[in-house]
Copies of this chain bind each other. A is one copy, B any other.
Amino acid sequence: MLRVAVLGAGRIGKIHAANVAANPNAKLIAVADPFGNAAASLADQLSCESSLEPTSLIERDDVDAVVIGTPTDTHVSLMLHAVASGKAVLCEKPIDLDITKADAALHEIERLNGRVMLAFNRRFDPSAQQLRRSIDAGSIGDVRQVIITSRDPGLPSREYLKHSGGIFRDMVIHDFDMARWLLGEDPVELMATASRLVDPTLTDFDDFDTVMVQMRTATGRQCHINCCREAVYGYDQRFEILGSAGMLQNENLRQTTVRRWTRDETEAGDPLLNFFLERYADAYRNELNAFIAAVESGSPMPVTPFDGRQALRLADCALESALTGRAVTV
Contact = CB atoms under 8 A, between A and B. Distances in A.
Interface of A: 126-127, 129-131, 134, 139-140, 142, 144-145, 147, 149, 151, 189, 191, 193, 195-198, 210-216, 220-222, 224, 226, 228, 230-234, 236, 242, 244-263, 265-272, 325-327
A87 B314 CA distance: 55
16 contacts: A142-B197, A189-B193, A191-B191, A195-B221, A210-B220, A210-B222, A212-B224, A222-B226, A232-B245, A233-B266, A247-B262, A249-B261, A251-B257, A254-B266, A266-B271, A267-B269
Contacts of A254: 266
A226 B214 CA distance: 10
Contacts of A234: 261, 266
B232 A327 contact: no
Contacts of A140: 260, 262
Contacts of A249: 258-259, 261
A258 B131 contact: yes
Number of copies: 4
Nearest to A262: B246
Given A193-B191, A248-B260, A257-B251, A214 B224 contact: yes
A75 B190 CA distance: 38
A227 to B, nearest CB: 9
B327 A145 contact: no
Nearest to A151: B242
A102 B265 CA distance: 43
Nearest to A265: B268
Given A193-B189, A195-B220, A263 B142 contact: no
A265 B263 contact: no
Cβ-closest 7 pairs across A and B: A195-B220, A268-B268, A246-B262, A233-B261, A191-B191, A251-B257, A265-B268
A223 to B, nearest CB: 8
Contact of A326 (B197, B215, B326): B326
